[in-house]
Amino acid sequence: MRSVLSLVVVAAIVLVSYKLYFSQMQAAGAGSTPVQTIDMVGVQNDLIAIGQAERMYQAQHGSYASMDDLVSSGEMTFRRDRDGYKYDVEASADSFRVTAHCPAATQPGCSNYSLDQSMEVRADR
């Protein structure tokens, strides 16, 4: 009898832990579908690619460049949007900031992302 009771207690602890773990995971990614997650990762990869193109351009020309200059110089062959996200580059002689603007009208709850010369992608909520 004692072993059955112990088994029931252990099963209850496992079930409660399981429920808490997955409810926290769901809250962290609330509203994200697999397609939205794929789009988000793609946008972040695009930002890194633009940042790498900026670094190559800066090494060759001594300053950072606009999106048009990156494309016309051949440093980047790239679509200017991904699933509604629009990319914007603010560049100066010694810094740059690339922003992916989210299509909030078609994807409620999405985030803007940005990257600067530190090459760290940040969510701009």
Nearest to 115 by CA among 80, 89, 92, 83: 89
Please determine, for residue 31, whether its predicted confidence score (pLDDT) is greater than 70.
no
How does pLDDT run across 38-71, given as a tens digit for each residue? Answer: 788 888 999 999 999 999 999 999 999 998 888 8
What is the Cα–Cα distance from 49 to 80, expressed in whole angstroms?
A: 12
Backbone Cα Rg of the chain: 22
pTM for the predicted model, two decimal places: 0.70
Percent of residues, the chain, with pLDDT higher than 70: 87
Q: What is the DSSP string of 103-123?
A: -TTTSTT--EEEEETT---EE
Beta strand pairing call for 122-124 and 112-116? antiparallel
| Residue 28: pLDDT band with limits 50, 70, 90 | very low
What is the three-class DSSP state of 100?
strand
